[in-house]
Amino acid sequence: MKSVKLFILSIFFISCICLKIQAQAPGSPILVEPPKEQTAVSLTPTFIWEAVSGAEYYDIFAYPDDEDNNPIIHSTTSGTEFYDPTIEFDPTALYRWKVRAGSTVYGWGNWSEVWSFTTTGSDNPYITRNTIPKVFALYQNYPNPFNPVTYISFDLPKATFVRIIVYDLLGRESETIVNQYMGAGRYKADWDATNFASGFYFYTIEAGLFKDRKKMILLK
């Protein structure tokens, strides 16, 4: 009888310990970037999530559509951001991703929500370079003067909605080159001025709170 009571008490204490460990495991991370169901995401995206109290490391899992047994990314990191320029996703493809937090004492917490995103197409006018810049920037177009195509490069240190507009010398809007939400990265967009007259033009960028303007010359 005594041994039975000891056995029951042992089971009780083990259950309490397991419940305590489970209760103190890190919570589920909140995903940030790429945004949920975002389209035209870079082929080398940056994944960002919010920090979880008590977490020492995170497990990130990204996979094509519903093929969670065939991940593109399955990695552990101590930070709340993951970027690997050597891993390139397929163009115009649907992917899903999730993150969980862990600690050496309490183990892994529950997975976050599963978010999806669609990558940019190979024929997209923006060319992404595998670098995450530190500040917003708008560069001088090249070539300049040009006829009839020129390229405008810009840097985004974080994801934001971007609008680049070309104006003529009188301040009239000529054409909108970029008008969409974009992930962090370095980009290059082209402007084909075949149907425009020679002269001076201005191009502006609005990316979050960042604004800038530069002049270019179309010489036919």
pLDDT at 10: 52
Domain that holds residue 99: 28-119
Same domain assignment for residues 102 and 152: no
Total domains present in the chain: 2
Q: Which of 111, 54, 102, 49 is nearest to 80 (CA)?
A: 49
Q: Within a domain: residue 92?
A: yes
Q: Which residues contact 91 (CB under 8 A, 6 or more apart)?
A: 43, 119, 120, 121, 122, 124
Q: Within a domain: residue 1?
A: no
Residues 50, 76: Cα–Cα separation, whole Å: 15
What is the pTM assigned to this prediction? 0.52
Same domain assignment for residues 179 and 101: no
Q: Within a domain: residue 131?
A: no
Same domain assignment for residues 38 and 111: yes
96 pLDDT more than 50: yes
Please classify residue 92 by burial: count the beta carbons closer than 10 Å to its beta carbon, then call 0-12 exposed, 13-18 middle and 19+ buried.
middle
Same domain assignment for residues 148 and 112: no
* 51 alpha carbon, distance to own chain's centre: 16
Q: CA-CA distances (angstroms) from residue 173 to 5, 100, 110, 150?
A: 85, 47, 51, 17
Q: Within a domain: residue 62?
A: yes
**pLDDT confidence tier of residue 59, bands split at 50, 70 and 90:** very high
pLDDT at 131: 61
Same domain assignment for residues 166 and 101: no
Q: Within a domain: residue 129?
A: no
Same domain assignment for residues 96 and 166: no
* 79 alpha carbon, distance to own chain's centre: 15
* Domain limit, last residue, from 90, 119, 148: 119
Q: CA-CA distances (angstroms) from residue 196 to 50, 127, 176?
A: 47, 24, 14
Same domain assignment for residues 35 and 107: yes
| pLDDT per residue as tens digits for the range 118-172 | 987 754 555 555 567 889 999 998 889 999 999 898 989 888 999 999 999 999 9
Mean pLDDT of the residues in the chain: 85
Same domain assignment for residues 115 and 144: no
**CATH number of the domain encompassing residue 62:** 2.60.40.10
Q: Within a domain: residue 8?
A: no
**CATH number of the domain encompassing residue 204:** 2.60.40.1930
Same domain assignment for residues 55 and 113: yes
Q: Within a domain: residue 169?
A: yes
Same domain assignment for residues 109 and 157: no
Q: Within a domain: residue 49?
A: yes
Residue with tokens 């995103």: 117
User: Omega of the bond prior to 148 within 30 degrees of 0, cis?
Assistant: yes
Taking residues 85-113, what's their average pLDDT? 91
* Domain limit, last residue, from 72, 93, 119: 119
Same domain assignment for residues 42 and 111: yes
